[in-house]
Each structure stands twice: as C-alpha cells, then as structure tokens.
Amino acid sequence: MHDLFDLSGKVALITGGSRGLGFEIARAFALAGADIAVASRKIDACEAAAREIRAMGRKAVAVSANVSQWTEVERLAQAVYDQLGRIDILVNNAGMSPAVPSHEVTEALFDKIVSLNFKGPFRLASLVASRMAAANGGVIINVSSTGALKPMPLVVPYVSAKAALNAMTIGMAREYGPKVRVNSISVGPFLTDIAKAWSEEKRQNQDNALRRAAKPMEIVTTALFLASPNSTFVTGAIVRCDGGSDGGSF
C-alpha cells in the first residue's frame, strides 16, 4: 500500500484533524510519508495528535483555529506555510451536524452550521488552491456527506451546506486545474463521536448494502487514493465512501 500511496515529501493540512475521520486520515498520510498540520479548535487535542504523528517519525504541527471564521482560516493557512513551508494536500474535514427541526433552527445556529461546513472550507480551499496553482500544484479533498446527495429532515442546514461543498468541489476543480485537483469524499455512517448519540440499533445496523456503519479507519484508503499520484486523472469528483447507501445517511 505504501508504494501505491506514497506521500513522501508532501505536507498535508487536515482540519478537524485531532479526532475521528480527520485523525485517521492524518495518521494514514503520515504513515505514507507526509508531514502533517493538525488543526481544530482545541489546541490540547491538536498537540496530542501531533505528538502521536511525530512519534511515527514525521514532522507535525498543531494549530488551533475556528475554521468557520475567515480571519481564523487566513491565520491557519499562514501558520502552516510559516512552519512547514508549503501545503501540498488540504483536507477540509471539520464539520458539525446537529439534528434540529427546521422551524426551530435559530439564525445563530444556521450561521454556525453553514460557516463551519461551507463558508470556512471555501475560504481555506481558495487561499490554498491559489498558492498551489502558482507553485507546483496540489490536492484538495473536501469531506462531504451522502446527505448532500439525498437530503434528510432535521439536518437541512447541514446537508444544504454539504451540497454547496460538493458544488464548490466541482467549480474549484475547473478554476484551479490543471495543477490543482479538487475532490469530495461523500461519507456515509461512520462510528465517530456523532454516533455516540445514536441508538444501539442504529450503531449495529444501517440501511445500506453492507448493513452497517463504518469504523473510522475505513475512510483511509479513499483519502489516500485521492491524495496520491495514483489518482492524477481524478478531479471534480464526488467519491462515495458510504457502504452502498442510497443517500440519507451522515
């Protein structure tokens, strides 16, 4: 696998990288040879993740940032360029999906959900893509949701923001190609922190072809494929990693 997905000499920035899918991706990229910038709101969690990656023999930096805010996004990007010199791979992974009836969603909650799942990723991707395009190119991976392909009740702002993220993926692939590739991973049900609120039945059974939710590590090969030189003709794609779902899972 290492030969197929060799990321030696690359620098990857992963938002929401201190836990869940983001941390699994960070570890996998480090094992494949990349140096890692871990970003999330909690610096202690970022530092813990960075220490584990350094123990694997890779460089790692921890940056605390609220990626729903443009000023924080700009500071985050510059901090990584200052500390690691460049960004070859960006993974927009940070997100949130509270379940609330649409008529009970406040303006503040709506803005928070849309900012974290779309506004911040848009700004970060555009900043990084422009620098990648002016240099040696790079890869951007946006972590989306099957809910964007088949929207669900109770999480309408979330799935709408993820649909916008998919549209952004396709648009930016055209705007910053050919040197920058931009793709989305459309994830189905994963047993991350969000699953702690699920019923035991939902944790054990899912309405998809595999009849189950995924372990966090099952995101790894999809992310490695999109990040590696072995996917050089893949861009503007929404790649499903959902256990054969018909949509409606997140």
Q: Which residues participate in catalysis according to the annotation? A: 158
- As a dihedral over the C-alpha atoms of residue 202, residue 246, residue 238, residue 91, rounded to 10 degrees, the angle is 0
Sheet holding 89-92, edge to edge: 60-64, 35-40, 11-15, 89-92, 138-145, 180-187, 238-241
Distance set, CA 93 to CA 21, 159, 186, 202, 204 (Å): 8, 15, 11, 23, 25
Task: List residues bridging with 184 in a β-sheet.
Answer: 142, 238
Structure tokens, 133: 């395009």
CA 158 to CA 152: how far, in whole Å?
9
Q: 153, 44, 23: which is closest to 94 by C-alpha?
A: 23
